Structure 1
Amino acid sequence: MKKQWKRGFVLLLVLLLAFSMVGCSGDGDDEALPEVINIGVLRVPNDQTLAIAEGLLDDHFGEMGIECKYIIFDSGVEANQALASGSIDFASMGNTNAIVSLARDLDVEMIWIHEILGDIEALAVKNDSGIEKVEDLAGERIATPFASTAHYILLNTLKLAGIENDVELLDMQTAEIVAAWERGDIKAAYTWQPSLGVLLQTGFPLVTSQDMAEKGFITANVVVGRKGFTEKYPELTAGMLMNLAKAGDIYRADAQEGARIVAEELEITPEDALMQMQGSIWKTPQELLGEDYFGTTGNPGHFAVIMKDTADFLEEQESIDQAPDQEAFNTYVNPKYIEMAVEMMD
């Protein structure tokens, strides 16, 4: 009897072990951390550049055995193409391109605002061009990256002046704008730093995004995340935002030091970096959860309304086929991961 009992007990243990192994093989793959996080970046002086330069993201994810790969994009158009293919998990872009993401039904969500754009973007006009006010641009060729924040502000600038049908707009990337400017092909362009700084060496800002923000046309650089990643790894997503917030704290605590770090990363002077960083508004995660921006879960903030208003304008200009409705934007501008990041920091 004892031998039979022992054999039965051993058999029971074997069966339990077999079932537990099957259970682990079914759930383990779903819960395993990714080996790599692919992050699309813009080479501009913002919290993301500061976080990368300081190694905050590499250190945070490296402790989990996760590698960060940074893919540089010159515009949100390129980033959206990468998101559509599933080759990146996060991307920085202007909020107008984030609208394009939603309008194109890309499976993404907006999860962060790097900065509200001010003097960092502007309509540059060549010195001695004879152009002194916006109305003087009638008959001119103006370059800007289409579907960008610069494009949106430029269109509204021209519309307010009543000359939107009297100029020729050229779709150029930032490097192409600088080359065309230096060749003398264009006298005016709406672009952002650092290309804007090159233009201003022989030109001046006629209108800035700060000027237009004061008239209600607000633009920002934001982060969108691919839902296939954000929904599967919410803690990792929040961890990234937590480190962007830490980078912002470095700048807020010592602007000169923040500019020095960014300058070294972007290979520009600390003076240029500081000027560019002061040309935008950086918000804390707590401020982003306020009613002017993301709001909180279940209580959408005003930035979703700004996104909808901007989308309606882009539809009117035929930059997108159809503007999503307000409810879509209320869901798209998602405060969940910022809320989680704030809890992590507390």
Structure 2
Amino acid sequence: MIRTRSFVALSLAALLVSGQVLADTVKEIRIAVPDISAGPTPSGAGIVDVLRDRQTLEKEFEKDGITIRWDFFKGAGPAINEALANGQEDFAYLGDFPAIIGKAGGLDTRLLSAVARNVKLYLAVQPGSGITSFETLKGKRVAIFRGTATQLSFASALAHQGLKESDFKVINLDYNAANAALAAKQIDATWSGAGVLALKARGLAELPLTTVDLGGAGSMQAVLLGRGAFVDEHPELVARLIKAQQPAIAWLRNDAHKQDYIDLVSRLASYPPAILTADAADQSLNTIFAPQLDASFIDNLQHSVDLALDAKLIRKGFDVKTWAEPRFIDAALTAAPHTADTATQTPQASR
């Protein structure tokens, strides 16, 4: 009887351990992305669209029975932060400001790599309005998508001109709603990305100012975040994911592939190719999509944190260096320095 009870006890313990192992086994990696698409198919632009088109991450993890789930959020950064807080996502490709908001608010995330840097934004105004600068826009209605990188970009651009958000009548609208409102003359201006070039092409907007005109002030950054618990529990999966995406990043950073990249994003995001071509004309993809967490990128993020705190957009600042976890991207770049030579696969959109 004692032997039987011991056997049952051991069997039960083994079952509990086995069940714990099964519970800890990752069957799905969940990745959150703001949806910038103007059409029926989602798009995150940048490396997200290249990775999805190539099925890069799916191929990396399929041998382990792990699926990749891409979740696109029209609610952008605020909705993604909520999903991360609820443990519903494992990674997020995200603009700098929502990433900063989450960290400042106590969300346990790890800064894993740069995704984009020095992204250009535009001031779009009603045609014939006579608005040529932020100074001439003072007191007028400006649409900003609050909680997104665009809001912090706007604050940075204004600070460069000695202005602040309270100098304007700011209205919270997402990008598509802001474009529609500007076209309908319900607002005087919006501060946004390349989507406003479509309004200009139709004679519905003028673009008197960009971040380039401001010497880069207000340009936008984007990052790859990992949920803290996932990074701590599965560092090997984090390492594999970051290493697996390097050939796609190397392809994207080759300016010879700029037109192929434009065609890809145009197809997925339903943006006219001419609009994306105009936006990218004076920009280097090699510079924009550099993934390193280098001193320049960290310093820019720290400036953004300090600016957000000064503008009362966050309640608590923090040291970006303690947030950054560069070991994964550093290892990936050291292990695969040849990726630029092997990353010649062309996206499906241009085949």
Which TM-score band applies after superposition, normalised by the shorter structure? Answer: 0.7 to 0.9
Following TM superposition, by how much is the alpha carbon of 1:168 offset from its aligned partner in structure 2, in angstroms?
0.9
Q: Which AA in structure 1 matches 2:259? A: Q
After the TM superposition, which residues 74-153 of structure 1 pair with which residues of structure 2 at under 5 Å, given as runs? 74=74, 75-119=76-120, 121-153=121-153
Instruction: Report matched runs for 1:315-334 at 5 Å.
Output: 315-324=309-318, 326=319, 329-334=320-325
The Cα of 1:341 is off from its aligned counterpart by: 2.1
Corresponding letter in the other structure for 1:76: G
Contact residue 133 and residue 208 of structure 2 kept, 8 A: yes
**Identity in percent:** 22
Contact 2:132/2:209 (CA < 8 Å) preserved in 1?
no
Give the CA deviation at 1:178: 1.9
Alignment partner, residue 39 of structure 2: none
Change (3 A) 1:114 1:65: same
Compute the displacement of 1:39 (Å).
0.6
Q: Please give the secondary structure, in 2, of the residue aligned with 1:319.
A: coil
Pick the structure with greater CA Rg: 1
- 249-258 vs 104-113, which moves further: 249-258
User: What corresponds to 1:25 in structure 2?
Assistant: 18
Output the CA distance in 1 between the equivalents of 2:210 and 2:284.
14
Number of the residue aligned with 2:206: 204
Per the normalisation by structure 2, the TM-score is 0.79
Task: Write the distance in 2 (CA, Å) between the matches of 1:192 and 1:57.
Answer: 28
Structure 2 stretches lacking a partner, 5+ long: 1-6, 35-42, 338-351
1:266 aligned partner: 269
Contact kept, 8 Å, 2:183 with 2:205, in 1: the verdict is no
Are the counterparts in 2 of residues 245 and 285 from structure 1 also a CA contact under 8 Å? no
For residue 59 of structure 1, give the secondary structure of its aligned residue in structure 2. Answer: helix
Total equivalences in the alignment: 317
Q: Distance in 2 between matches of 1:20 and 1:334?
A: 37
Contact 1:53 1:262 in 2 (8 A): no
Does the aligned pair in 1 maintain the 2:258–2:285 contact within 8 Å? Answer: no
Deviation at 1:218, TM superposition (A): 4.9
Counterparts in 2 of 1:203 and 1:96: CA distance versus 1, 3 Å: same
Cα distance, 1:257 vs structure 2: 2.3
Question: CA 1:175–1:267 in structure 2 vs 1: closer, same or farther (change >3 Å)?
Answer: closer
TM-score for both structures, normalised by structure 1: 0.80
Rounded to whole Å, the distance in 2 between the matches of 1:179 and 1:53 is 30
Change over 3 Å in CA distance of 1:219–1:284 after alignment to 2: closer
Mapped partners of 1:240, 1:277: distance in 2: 28
Once the two structures are superposed, the pairs formed by residues 281-320 of structure 1 within 5 Å of their partners are 282=285, 288-289=291-292, 294-295=293-294, 301-320=295-314
Distance 2:101 2:313 in 1: 9
Q: Quick check: 1:144–1:150 contact (8 Å CA) kept in 2? A: yes
Deviation at 1:137, TM superposition (A): 0.3
Change (3 A) 1:222 1:281: farther
SS at match of 2:233: coil
Instruction: Give the structure 2 partner of residue 339 of structure 1.
Output: 330
Other-structure match for 1:5:
none
Residue 3 of structure 2 aligns with which residue? Answer: none
Distance 1:264 1:64, change over 3 A: farther
